[in-house]
Chains A and B, each alone.
Chain A
Amino acid sequence: MTLAQWSFDLLLAGGLLWLGWQALFEKRRFSAVVHFMAFNLLMALVWVRLSAPDIALAEAAIGAGVTGALLLTALGRLPSGTSSGAHPHRWHPHWRYLAVISACISTAWLIAVVPQLPSPGLAGEIEAVMPATGVDHAVTAVLLNIRALDTLLEVAVMLAAVVLVWSLGPTLRPLPPATILPGLPALSRLLHPLFLLVPTYLLWRGTHAPGGAFPAGAVLGAGGVLMLLADEVGWMQRQHWQRLLRLLLVSGLALFVLVGLGGLLMTGTFLSIPLGVARLLIMAVEIAMALSIALMLMALYLYGEPGQ
């Protein structure tokens, strides 16, 4: 490792720790949220350094983009200032000291044992079954073929979150920004083609290189949140679009379950895909998943059920 890489890593880690500290222990909410967003951007750089570009893309679009938008919108809704009595049940100081000390001790212990932790070491096994998965990129293969059940359940968790958020009441109004900002529609109009082009490219790339449904869905969802901010998706609020909206939201999960059931019929195992149709089916599931992940991110951002 060269000196330049070393110093870059040092700077990156220092910045990460400082931003994390600020996000955790800054009293003012706005400042904490902004530091957290910057923290996520640096995390994306760390993923690049650790040669995980697909995680970096998802982190940049979701961690810094969508989570930041969610937090800032929530911030506008919460009463200003540090909350008094928001959390009535406070611990006795002794317990808090004890907790902090024990957390410090376990952190020190974790740092000590981290270099000796065994690595999962499944790379060889994955390499061996790669030809039977129908795709050439290991992450996509694990995501949609080898450990497809995890991904299926993850989409279900996301849908459950949407159901929870929508069950709490109608969409918060007015949608932010409350003031009229002329630049925002212009920005989203300029970026619309790119927000379609980049996810398509990522989806296509996913079969043979870093990319795939998650980064594509994340980028598309971030673009969708930008459109929501610019107030350009009126159809999500209209009554007669509601049925279609719900259908689109569940489309990823539904197609995934259908593919799983098809696998059950053809091979006798749920979610096992025959090699002949694997590439095609994985591509179809990926497209549906990217679309529904993007739509679910937008649905979460609404903070309530639209069309009420």
Chain B
Amino acid sequence: MTETLLNAAGHGLVLVGLLFFLAGSLGLLRFPDIYARLHALTKAHNLGLGLLCSGLALQASALSEAAKMMLVWLLVLIASGIGATLVASTANTCGIVPRQVSRRIRHKRPREPKE
């Protein structure tokens, strides 16, 4: 009984993770500039990978296997977090300016005055 439940939960988590991957990839293709694309990649894909790994860990036969799955997620989190920072700071050094929000929206929400 628990076996079936765990399996079903694992499949569900994998499916949800795949949806996040899809969203992240869509963002990578559709977002306007490099910073927004990095955002899509790191946030959506890392969450997707986390769900995928937990889904697989739930179906794993041994505890050590599940721990390895989670280790994969942890390592990718570290690498992609720092990698994204590196890409963004290199782009910034190279003079790529983040795309600004259009003026109309900025008028609606004025910046808070400095104290």
Contact B86 A181 (CB under 8 A): yes
Find residues 168-220 in chain A having any chain B CB closer than 8 Å to their own CB. 177, 179, 181-184, 186-187, 190-191, 194
Cα-based distance from A181 to B86 in the complex (angstroms): 6
Contact B79 A187 (CB under 8 A): yes
A179's partner among B78, B83, B85, B93 (CB-CB below 8 A) is B93
Residue of A181, A182, A190, A191 with highest tally of chain B CB at under 10 A: A181
Contact B90 A179 (CB under 8 A): yes
A181's partner among B78, B79, B90 (CB-CB below 8 A) is B90
Q: Interface size for chain B: under 10, 10 to 19, 20 to 34, or 35 or more residues?
A: 10 to 19
Find residues 45-59 in chain B having any chain A CB closer than 8 Å to their own CB. none
Contact B75 A183 (CB under 8 A): no
Which A residue's beta carbon lies closest to that of B92? A179
Contact A184 B86 (CB under 8 A): yes
B96 within 8 A of A: no
Measured between C-beta atoms, what is the minimum distance from B18 to chain A in Å? 13
CB-CB contacts of B77-88 with A at 8 A, as 1s and 0s? Answer: 011001101100
A190's partner among B78, B83, B85, B93 (CB-CB below 8 A) is B78
Cα-based distance from A187 to B75 in the complex (angstroms): 11
Provide the residues of chain A in CB contact with B90, threshold 8 Å. 177, 179, 181
B contact patch SS: helix
Q: Interface size for chain A: under 10, 10 to 19, 20 to 34, or 35 or more residues?
A: 10 to 19
Contact A183 B89 (CB under 8 A): yes
CB-CB contacts of B22-55 with A at 8 A, as 1s and 0s? Answer: 0000000000000000000000000000000000
Provide the residues of chain A in CB contact with B82, threshold 8 Å. 183-184, 186-187, 190
Which A residue's beta carbon lies closest to that of B85? A183
Contact A183 B86 (CB under 8 A): yes
Cα-based distance from A97 to B83 in the complex (angstroms): 44
Contact B75 A181 (CB under 8 A): no
Cα-based distance from A179 to B89 in the complex (angstroms): 9
Cα-based distance from A184 to B90 in the complex (angstroms): 12
Provide the residues of chain A in CB contact with B75, threshold 8 Å. 194
Cα-based distance from A177 to B85 in the complex (angstroms): 14
Which A residue's beta carbon lies closest to that of B78? A190
Provide the residues of chain A in CB contact with B85, threshold 8 Å. 182-183
Measured between C-beta atoms, what is the minimum distance from B89 to chain A in Å? 6
Which A residue's beta carbon lies closest to that of B75? A194
Residue of A183, A184, A186 with highest tally of chain B CB at under 10 A: A183
Provide the residues of chain B in CB contact with A177, threshold 8 Å. 90
Provide the residues of chain B in CB contact with A194, threshold 8 Å. 75
Cα-based distance from A179 to B85 in the complex (angstroms): 13
Cα-based distance from A184 to B84 in the complex (angstroms): 11
Find residues 73-115 in chain B having any chain A CB closer than 8 Å to their own CB. 75, 78-79, 82-83, 85-86, 89-90, 93
Which A residue's beta carbon lies closest to that of B89? A181
Provide the residues of chain A in CB contact with B89, threshold 8 Å. 179, 181-183
Provide the residues of chain A in CB contact with B83, threshold 8 Å. 187
Provide the residues of chain B in CB contact with A182, threshold 8 Å. 85, 89
Measured between C-beta atoms, what is the minimum distance from B22 to chain A in Å? 15
Measured between C-beta atoms, what is the minimum distance from A2 to chain B in Å? 16
A residues near B, CB below 8 A? 177, 179, 181-184, 186-187, 190-191, 194
9 contacts between A and B (CB under 8 A): A177-B90, A179-B90, A181-B86, A181-B90, A183-B82, A183-B86, A184-B86, A187-B79, A190-B82
> When A and B form their complex, which 5 residue pairs have the shortest distance between CB atoms, in order from nearest?
A187-B82, A183-B85, A183-B82, A179-B93, A183-B86
Q: A179-B93, A183-B86, A187-B78 are in contact. List 17 more A-B contacts (CB 8 A).
A: A177-B90, A179-B89, A179-B90, A181-B86, A181-B89, A181-B90, A182-B85, A182-B89, A183-B82, A183-B85, A186-B82, A187-B79, A187-B86, A190-B82, A191-B78, A191-B79, A194-B75
